[in-house]
Amino acid sequence: MGRTLIQNATIFDGTGKATTKGDLVVEGNRIASVGTTTVAQPNDITIDASGMFLMPGMVEGHAHLSFENVCATEDLITPSPETQVFTAARGAKALIEAGFTSAYGASEAKLKLAVAVRDEVNAGRLPGPRIRAGGLEISVTGAMGDESKLHNPRQSPSAIVDGVEEMRKTVRLHCREGIDNVKLDVSGDPFYPGTPGNTTPMTFEEVRVAVETAHAYGRKINAHTRSIEGSKHCVRAGVDGLFHCEYVDEELLDMMEEARDRIFVVPTVGLFAQIMAGEASAHGLSPEVGGYMNIPDLLENSFVTHTELRKRGIRHLIGGDYGFGWSPQGTQGRDLKSFVDFYGYTPAEALACATRNGGLAMGYGGELGTLAPGKLADLILVDGDPLADISILTGPEKVAFVMKDGVVQKIRPALARQASTPTLEAAE
């Protein structure tokens, strides 16, 4: 790979600095310079980004690549793994086209779907983001995920365990099969009336041994946790990523603040906000049904809790639970506006959650999520200014250019033509 020179862009580098106008140079798969005026060299790929917004690639912080038009658990159980691998591949493609250059995995419809797509993306045979592959949801008898009675990894989206030895074995199985991110269902959920969101079916000892086992393999572990007790289990046990976290008390807030340099929190607000806005009515989930599910209370607690977590410096990620019938893959950028509207973030702070925070969660030694010399070249060009209108990132339409690891993944035809390079023309 040679040099790519992006000129005359408005640059948001993700570090907290104000935007600047200038150039950025990529050499190989790394950023060589940012902000300085650069003279083009022979054989440079040169892109005039006048009037465009240059920023790090975004990170989906709770990815379900294999979720597509899902409305019930049966939609995850019935299709075969062979069919669903194509679904997961489409999910990966939708993310990269929307400017998400990384996907921090939650769980998938079958055990190895994200592993298969991750490996194909890494080999350059499929388009997609960097992927930390999630496996099955690990739950317990009588809790969410236990309704299917099908616990074969090739059939069920859940693995059901009871006790620390079953937990240890199941986490080891995930690690053996190449899973990067292990996920636990620690609390209940509004979709499961027998175990609503404020319940905690999984024990602390089960959480603790899962964390110890995953970390022994060098993997990360995340948790579906809405309840106060469940989130306390997670923080005490050393869980890396906490998904949802609507219900808190003062002790939990203090615990999370103390752990703020270790944990990441993903509110996943979009799913339920969209139900209460009437966007899921055509799928049988009207606002009235949402009321029966206690979603208004959950949302109100989410607004209060995550506003407080923002004030305490907790690292939020955007995304989560996209792929339902009313929230297609590639629209995860809607969460940026939710962070501004519901949690009090400024647009720049919300973008930092999507870029800098997400890059740190992905790992890579801090080489993702910001634009700085020496960092990995994951970046996007956007038509317009997200700091003036954060909603322009709600889909792929305004994302004109995507580069991952120094390789162009998407480029608008007009940009490719003015760059005058056969390589970029092929990437349209």
Could you please report the per-residue DSSP string of 338-382? HHHHHH---HHHHHHIIIIIHHHHH-GGG-SSS--TTSB--EEEE
Q: What's the token pair of residue 95? A: 């993310």
The sign of the CA dihedral 57, 59, 64, 69 is: negative
Radius of gyration of the chain (CA): 21
Residue 331 phi/psi, 5° resolution?
-105, 20
State how far the Cα of 334 lies from the Cα of 343, in Å rounded to an integer. 14
Note whether 197 and 230 are within 8 A (CB).
no
Distance of alpha carbon 270 from alpha carbon 89, whole angstroms: 22
Place of tokens 């250059």: 101
- CATH, range 3-57+368-425: 2.30.40.10
Domains of the chain, residue spans? 3-57+368-425, 58-332
Per DSSP, 392 falls in state G
pTM of this structure: 0.94
Residue pair 57/98 in contact by the 8 Å Cβ criterion: no
> pLDDT per position in the chain (428 positions), as tens?
579 999 999 999 999 999 999 999 999 999 999 998 888 888 889 999 999 999 999 999 999 999 998 887 778 888 888 999 999 999 999 999 999 999 999 999 999 999 999 999 999 999 999 999 999 999 999 898 886 555 555 567 899 999 999 999 999 999 999 999 999 999 999 888 888 889 999 999 999 999 999 999 999 999 999 999 999 999 999 999 999 999 999 999 999 999 999 999 999 999 999 999 999 999 999 999 999 999 999 999 999 999 999 999 999 999 989 999 999 999 999 999 999 999 999 999 999 999 999 999 999 999 999 999 999 999 999 999 999 999 999 999 999 999 999 999 999 998 988 775 545 544 54
Cα separation, 124 vs 416, in Å, equals: 21
**379 neighbors 355 (Cβ within 8 angstroms):** no
Residue 46, amino acid: T
Rounded distance between C-alpha atoms, residue 388 and residue 384, angstroms = 8
Distance (Å, whole) CA 401 – CA 75 = 33
Which tokens is 67 given?
A: 């979720």
CATH number, domain 58-332, options 2.30.42.10, 3.30.70.270, 2.40.30.10, 3.20.20.140: 3.20.20.140
The CA-atom distances, in angstroms, between 10 and each of 7, 18, 53, 372 are 9, 10, 5, 15
